[in-house]
Amino acid sequence: MRPAIFSSCTDPANLDMLPWLSCYLTTGKHLAFYASFGTVLLLLAVTAPLALLFGFAGASVARSRITPLAWLGKGYIAIVRGVPDIAFFLFFVIALDQAVEWLRHKVKCPDWDQPIRQGNDFVVCQIAKMPLNSAPQWVHEVYGFSLAMVTFAIVFGAFAANVLYGAMQAVPRAQIETAEAYGMSRSQSFWRIVVPQMWLYALPGLSNLWMVLIKATPLLFLLGVEDIVYWARELGGAKTTRFTEYPHDDWRMWYFLGLLLFYLAFTKLSEIVLTRITRRLSHGQATLGGEALRKDAQGGATA
């Protein structure tokens, strides 16, 4: 374990309580624990727009007049939403990993004469492994995080597609017909009429989905990524002098209490931001939210 950042921490056994605690909280593992909060925030920052992109594509395909495409979009939504999240997460990480290695195997080892599937084993040539065994540790970590990120985007993209599909359907049909009567093509009416207005209808569902995504980030731990849950369990577990120079009892309750406070604070901040976005989008719209804003404005003007 990398020593703490303070020079006075060279002999923790001789420290009093507060100096001991300051040394304990600045060890290399704790610095990794603090950095793992950034891992969670990075996952959210990258996954949210990517899932929204998957969702928009899925919803658009589900509305297609070409029947096979519509089936494809609706099938994507139904299959992912119908499978328990944890099962889909574990399946997709393995499937994506094997798909990448299979493609590399086909390119790098065309003369391979053995079956890739050997019973329960998935065997490819050594140079097709992803990442290579000789690769630095950070490459393994980035690769694992990337697989988790794509899996999150695919799963939550299906939920986003369901929300956006309903929002597209909620845009008044009369407006679309009016646009087409003025000579707009179906594509033009979609981009100029449906897309700008659907976000207001979709925002409540997308807000709930964002909250669910925040709550799902601990699944990183199950996918092999060293996230905040991993480090909370690792650092909070009982330690004795046989295993560490900072022995302590089982402190997992306190570490997980810290995670609870972090998630509560983050979801509260999200609620404030989402409420402001909803108010901004509702302004001037013929919806309940827009009507409430007009009444508030009229009441303020009257007063």
Residue 9 included in any domain:
no
- 63 in any annotated domain: yes
Give residue 263's identity as a one-letter amino acid code: Y
Q: What average pLDDT score do residues 283-303 get?
A: 51
Q: What pTM value is reported for the model?
A: 0.79
Domain holding 235, by residue range, is 26-302
List, for residues 196-248, the tens digit of each pLDDT value. 888 888 988 999 999 999 988 888 887 778 889 989 988 888 876 666 778 88
Question: Which residues 6+ apart lie within 8 Å of 221 measured at CB?
Answer: 227, 229, 230, 233
Predicted pLDDT at 282:
66
Q: What pLDDT, on the 0 to 100 scale, is given for residue 196?
A: 85
pLDDT in tens, 92-144: 888 888 888 889 888 888 888 888 887 778 888 888 888 877 778 888 888 88
> Is 225 a domain residue?
yes
CATH number of the domain enclosing 59: 1.10.3720.10
The number of domains in the chain is: 1
Per-residue buried b or exposed e for 2-33, using 16+ beta carbons within 10 Å of the residue's own CB: eebeeeebeebeebeeeebeebbeebeebebb
Segment 62-98, tens digit of pLDDT: 988 889 999 999 999 998 888 887 888 888 888 888 8
Contact, 235 vs 34, CB < 8 A? no
In a domain, 18, yes or no: no
Q: Tell me whether residue 39 is in a domain.
A: yes
Residue 14 within a domain: no
The residues near 244 (Cβ < 8 Å, ≥ 6 apart) are 1
Region at 119 (left for phi over 0; alpha for psi -120 to 50; beta for the rest): left
Judge whether residue 178 has pLDDT over 70.
yes
Give per-residue pLDDT as tens, 15-37.
777 888 888 888 888 888 999 99
Contact 192, 111 (CB under 8 A): no
Would 210 be classed as within a structural domain?
yes
Residue 65 domain flag: yes
